[in-house]
Structures are given as C-alpha cells and as structure tokens.
Amino acid sequence: MGVVNITSLNGRDVFTRNGKYVGKIDDTMVDTEKGNIYGFAVVMARTSFLYRVLSKSEQEVKKTILIPYREVLAADDIVLVTVPKQYEKYEQEALAGGSEESPLGGGAMAAMPGAGETD
C-alpha cells in the first residue's frame, strides 16, 4: 500500500471493491500496545448500502462504523475496502422486503466482523 500520512486519510471517500460508496474516514484507530493501525472510523453516508442495512431495525441509527485495517485494499485518492458478503446479502434482502433484523447490535459505533480480533 505504500507510505501515507494517516492524517491525510481523514475525509477521504471510502468505497467497496465493487464500487459501492460507504462514507468518509473520520478517524484512525491505533493499537498503542503493538504500534499498528487497528482500523478506520468511517462516517457512513445516508445513501450508502451499509447505512441502510445497519440501521434497518435500529431505533438509534448508527453513524460510524469501524473498518479493520486488514479490510483495506488500497488507500490513495480514495480508500477501497472489502465488505463481508453477508452485508451485501442483507442489502439485497432489504431491497426485496426480506429480513427486518440488523446483522449488528446497538451502540454508537458498529464494528465489522473480526474487528475485535487481535493478531
């Protein structure tokens, strides 16, 4: 991925590898014990599929999601990330009037699967 000043990533647009808009990077999370980048806090756009999927059955809509660094494919003018297929599946079901249940629980910041895992 090369060397990038992490503060320069704030405000960058985040897209999935399939070209779906997710939102903008708001903050960078650092593992202070290991000295590694843990992930990015991304403010989701109201029009993004992740926003629609994660807020479908929530009273309080999530605005920020933590995307683990290992999900980042590229970071330059924009940031490309992988998104678990289950989220794309939930979007398709939601558009078809299917599942009413959100794949994640409550809280101000949602984390993508594996975000709590350490290497």
- Sequential DSSP letters for 41-60: EEEEPTTSHHHHHHHTT-SS
Residue 24 domain-assigned?
Answer: yes
Q: Which residue has the tokens 């939102």?
A: 23
Residue 75: what pLDDT?
87
Residue 116: the pLDDT is 47
Number of domains forming the structure of the chain: 1
What is residue 76's predicted lDDT score, i.e. its pLDDT?
86
pTM, whole model, 2 decimals? 0.68
pLDDT tens sequence for the chain (119 residues): 567 777 888 999 999 888 889 999 999 999 999 988 899 999 988 888 778 777 765 556 668 888 899 999 988 889 999 876 666 666 666 556 554 444 444 444 455 544 444 44
Residue 76 domain flag:
yes
Q: CATH number for the domain including 76?
A: 2.30.30.240
In terms of residue numbers, what domain contains 105? 6-110
Query: What is the spatial distance between Cα 26 and Cα 42, in angstroms, rounded to a whole number?
Result: 5
pLDDT given for residue 5 in this prediction = 78
| Residues with Cβ within 8 Å of residue 20, at least 6 apart in sequence | 48, 49, 83
Cβ atoms of 68 and 55 within 8 Å: the answer is: no
